[in-house]
Amino acid sequence: MIKTIVLDADNVVFKKISPIIINQLQKLSGKSEKDVISIRKKYWEKTKIGIITEKENWLGSKKKGYEQGIFGELEIPKEKYPLFITQLKKSYKLNNGCIKFLNKLKSEKFKLYLFSNSSYYTIEKPYVIFKLNNYFEFAYFSHKMKLAKPDLNSFKLFITRTKINPKESLFIDDKDKNLIVAKDLGFNIFKFTNPKDFNQILKK
């Protein structure tokens, strides 16, 4: 019997933000999509586990190999940073039907948890803006917990912090690599592909 619902944030609760970030960086730098994606991925791997901060991610860090930041490597003037962040915050959007979905689950007495790879401006800030703490018992932000999916230890830490029973939980994510680990730990799983899936989940 399912008692708990565990949701990913990016591309499940929120509309996917990565394409918006890539597009903004391309416009600011004039670089190719391939180059922008490669550089962002390099920094994201450290940002999502809190090795470098959000600001260091964009503007540079003391960590070896990450001194320039994304802006430096893409040759974007640092004075463009405030406008970039303003535009990023304006791009936050919940997936269509998400609030209705959360309200329905809450009314049915399911316990809801967020389990997301994150940085401050990509996940934590919109979580606060949309007041999602009204729905979730606990939000796992990888940049704060220092462990990110699909690392098995991130799942173990999430289970320890929430004290949930995976066999009584439905894990909803859009990435196969995360779903595989969840299934191995006993979670019931659902691969999220688009907002129409909210209705499919409710029917089940």
Cβ(157)–Cβ(151) below 8 Å: no
Distance, C-alpha 39 to centroid of its chain: 18
Confidence tier at 147 by pLDDT (50, 70, 90): very high
pLDDT band per the 50, 70, 90 thresholds, residue 134: very high
pLDDT score of 120 more than 90: yes
What percent of the chain has a predicted confidence (pLDDT) above 90? Answer: 99
**pLDDT, position 203:** 87
Half-sphere exposure of 120 (CA within 13 A, CB side): 9
Give 84's contacts (C-beta < 8 A, 6+ positions apart): 24, 28, 58
With vertex at residue 146, the alpha carbon angle to CA 145 and CA 152, rounded to the nearest 5 degrees, is 90
- The correct answer on CATH 3.30.428.10 for the domain covering 4-16+93-203 is no
Q: Which two tokens stand for residue 80?
A: 């463009």
For residues 119 and 57, is the Cβ–Cβ distance under 8 A? yes
Segments in the chain forming alpha helices (H): 18-29, 33-47, 54-59, 69-73, 81-90, 98-107, 125-129, 142-145, 152-162, 176-184, 197-203
> In this predicted structure, what is the pLDDT of residue 70?
98
Residue 204: predicted pLDDT: 81
Rounded mean pLDDT of 69-89? 97
Closest-CA residue to 202 (of 170, 173, 174) = 170
- Residue ranges per structural domain of the chain: 4-16+93-203, 18-90
Quote the CA–CA distance of 167 and 17 in Å, as a whole number: 31
DSSP track, 90-121: HT--BPTTHHHHHHHHHHTT-EEEEEE---II
pLDDT for the residue 4 = 98
Cα(first)–Cα(last) distance of the chain, in Å? Answer: 12
Instruction: Measure the CA–CA gap between 175 and 164, rounded to whole angstroms.
Output: 21
pLDDT at 39: 98
Q: What percent of the chain clears pLDDT 70, i.e. is strictly above it?
A: 100
